[in-house]
Every structure is written in C-alpha cells, then in structure tokens.
Amino acid sequence: MVSSDHLGPDEEGQLMATVTTEGKKGLITKTVQIRTNDPERPLVILRLRANVIDPFHRGVTNARAIFSAPCSRCHVEKGLGKSGAALYQADCLLCHRRGRSGGSISEMKRLSRKDLESIIKYGKPDTMMPGFSFEIGGPLTERQISSLVRYIKGR
C-alpha cells in the first residue's frame, strides 16, 4: 500500500508491503513492481530480502524433541498408520524438501539401502535427524521404515 496514488516530482511517499512467511525459513527474497510515468524508468523493481526465523524451531537442539508435543503434531501424527509415499509426504517432506535442513530425496537416493535404512532407524549423529525406529523410542515400525527405503530408492 502506498501513502498516495500520485506523487509529484521530488515528492516522497511511503510504500508498505506485507510478506507472508508461513512455511518459509531462512533467507527469502520478494519483489515489488512500481510503475511510473518516468519515460526513462517506467518500471522500478524493489527487492526485499529477509531472514525468516521459524518461531516453532528456534532453540530446538534435541532432535528427539519432534516425538513429543507440540512437535509431534506435525512431525509424527500426520503419518500415523501410513507407509511409503504417503508417509514420506506426511512426515518426511517437512525437513527433506529442497531448501530445508534435511537432505533432499535425490541426496538420500544416492545412499546405499543399508545406510539409508540405518539413518532412518537410528538417526544421524550431530544433526537434527533422530532415529525413527520404534525399538529406540521412535514412531515407525520395521515395515514402515522398509516402505520409506523402497519409496526413496524408487524415485
């Protein structure tokens, strides 16, 4: 929104922009286009840059925290009873989407089946990837873990 729809030569005004940051994290860039009556610059493009700090994950340093409320609502509960692609979409994609903190599906695909299964089961040390195996307190059964490995390797 601008403070005036018309500004004369050498006049100043304000431009206010609202950026929706829901689902975004890290450095983002947005553009605003301004049309002018200046024949030399009929279009001015402003680039807004912001570092979006995710309020839900700020200060979370324990990877296993995702198995407890309130984190489990997004990281576990959506995938309950699911397997394969549906499980990946529900619970894994939050972190393993391009540009997120977890490895992308193409990166995971390059791992051996054994390494991929081990990381899903037991986690990856010194990262925010916890072990998801039920045997160590995670939410996934052996069958669900195998279905994820098949899905990832088959992509």
Where do the domains of the chain lie, and which CATH numbers do they carry?
A: 14-55 (no CATH), 63-154 (1.10.760.10)
> What does the pLDDT look like over 77-101, one tens digit per residue?
999 999 999 999 999 998 888 777 7
Rounded CA-CA distance 68/10 in Å is 58
Taking residues 9-22, what's their average pLDDT? 82
The band of 3, judged by pLDDT with boundaries at 50, 70 and 90, is low
Kindly tell me if the per-residue pLDDT of 121 is higher than 70: yes
Rounded CA-CA distance 111/115 in Å is 6
Candidates 49, 76, 71; CA nearest to 60 is 71
The answer to pTM > 0.85 is no
Name the token pair of 15.
Answer: 């431009």
